Copies of this chain bind each other. A is one copy, B any other.
Amino acid sequence: MTRHLDDAKASLRRMIYDGLYKAGEPLREVQVAERLGVSRTLARLAMAELETDGLLLREPNRGCRVRAFSAREVADAIRVRGELEGMAARLAAERGLSRAERADWEAVLARGDALLDSGRQDKAARTDWIAMNADFHAAVLAAADNAALVAACQRVSAMPLASPDAILFDAPTVDGGGAAATRRALAAAHRDHHEVFRAVAAREGERAAWLMREHARRSAETKARLLGDRTGYSRLSALPGGKLVRPAFG
């Protein structure tokens, strides 16, 4: 992959996430190329990559369509991610953390603590949170020292909303809405992070795996609750409340 292709792919991904193309709507190569400001070749390659990422569906000689993900599919993907991350936690616990890994991990946890303590809710805080969260999940995978596991996890995280980066801020909830609920959810998630770390550090492999799976499962349930039962969607910005924020995505 070269620079231009990466750019085109990222831009197209963003376009889809932003709902420029509705689910089921065909992506015409010429139009995509125009909007991306590149040639048809690059547009085509970008579409091919997003297809392998599972974001687009291709019918031979009929082009690509944006794939719609049901709440069920997202939940399924998150369960798989949880299983893989759980395996990573178990492997990490069995292997034991090096001094450096332990320090890195604790630094990430401290960043999360600081963010929660600050009480900030602005956009920068959200970006920081997403970065912290991503770093935590990456640390778990790295500590497992299994390249195939990392690759598999990245793949399953390619689905919109299935990635740990995909956090729904300020979406309305049944138990009262908005900022306070979000804050509670983030605090709970970060407690999970601490617990996973303690279990791994204590070499409690199976328990670490269980905690990690539960962490993913909670995230899946939260998202399912927020997204409702609609069977298909891809325009994330059109979700209930329209206040979805996923700045660090893609």
Q: Which residues of A contact B (CB under 8 A)?
A: 1-3, 45, 48-49, 52, 54, 58, 60-61, 73, 76-77, 79-80, 83-84, 87, 146-149, 151-152, 155-156, 159, 162
Q: How far is the CA of A171 from the CA of B155 in the complex (A)?
A: 34
Residues of B within 8 A of A54 (CB): 151
Residues of B within 8 A of A80 (CB): 84, 87, 146, 148-149, 152
On whether the beta carbons of B48 and A146 are closer than 8 Å, the reply is no
On whether the beta carbons of A60 and B148 are closer than 8 Å, the reply is no
On whether the beta carbons of A3 and B151 are closer than 8 Å, the reply is no
**Which residue of chain B lies nearest to A74 when distances are taken between CB atoms in the complex?**
B148
Residues of B within 8 A of A60 (CB): 1-3
Shortest A9–chain B CB gap in Å is 12
On whether the beta carbons of B162 and A156 are closer than 8 Å, the reply is no
**Which residue of chain B lies nearest to A82 when distances are taken between CB atoms in the complex?**
B87
On whether the beta carbons of A83 and B87 are closer than 8 Å, the reply is yes
On whether the beta carbons of B84 and A147 are closer than 8 Å, the reply is no
On whether the beta carbons of B61 and A2 are closer than 8 Å, the reply is yes
Shortest A1–chain B CB gap in Å is 7
Residues of B within 8 A of A151 (CB): 54, 155-156
On whether the beta carbons of A148 and B73 are closer than 8 Å, the reply is yes
Shortest A100–chain B CB gap in Å is 21
**Which residue of chain B lies nearest to A148 when distances are taken between CB atoms in the complex?**
B77
On whether the beta carbons of A152 and B155 are closer than 8 Å, the reply is yes
**Which residue of chain B lies nearest to A151 when distances are taken between CB atoms in the complex?**
B54
Known: A49-B52, A83-B87, A84-B83. A149 touches B76 (CB 8 A): yes
On whether the beta carbons of B159 and A76 are closer than 8 Å, the reply is no
The 7 residue pairs across chains A and B that have the minimum distance between CB atoms: A77-B148, A76-B146, A80-B148, A76-B148, A83-B87, A80-B149, A152-B156
Partner of A73, one of B79, B147, B155, B156: B147
**Which residue of chain B lies nearest to A91 when distances are taken between CB atoms in the complex?**
B79
Show 13 residue pairs from A and B whose CB-CB distance is below 8 angstroms, ordered by the A residue.
A3-B60, A45-B48, A48-B48, A54-B151, A73-B148, A76-B148, A76-B149, A79-B146, A79-B148, A80-B148, A80-B149, A148-B159, A151-B156
Residues of B within 8 A of A76 (CB): 146-149
Q: How far is the CA of A84 from the CA of B86 in the complex (A)?
A: 11
